[in-house]
Structure 1
């Protein structure tokens, strides 16, 4: 079970698995929270104004990154 984790700069084993699990849990919760904030801000914007194309790209890119981060970290919680 021991392997080196770069996030906590230590080997993860039976003795410190709790620290690794809580790190992944809080990071997953944070990414879910960020995804909800990005989606709610994107829903509140008035997209009829044509001068804000980079802002649309920003919201789509941030949403895609947060969903990808949630999916990646969520798979670590299953193990």
Structure 2
């Protein structure tokens, strides 16, 4: 599944790449599928499911805050 995101360019500065972009996107998508509809809900969901998420994602730097999800993903979104 993670291969789907390999073509997405990660524009973050090298120093701020503590979390794998693929893992961030997968966590956010899973949270949204499970009903999260705000950055806060995404962060809360991922915090609550951290143990399960670590079974298949590289989360050596733990779960991001809701602000970090917003800061990383929001610039990638496209308005239609």
TM-score, shorter chain, exceeding 0.5: no
- TM-score (structure 1 length as normaliser): 0.27
Point out the structure with max Rg over C-alpha. Answer: 1
Which protein, 1 or 2, shows the higher relative CO under an 8 Å CA cutoff with sep ≥ 6?
Answer: 1
Q: Which has the higher strand share?
A: 1
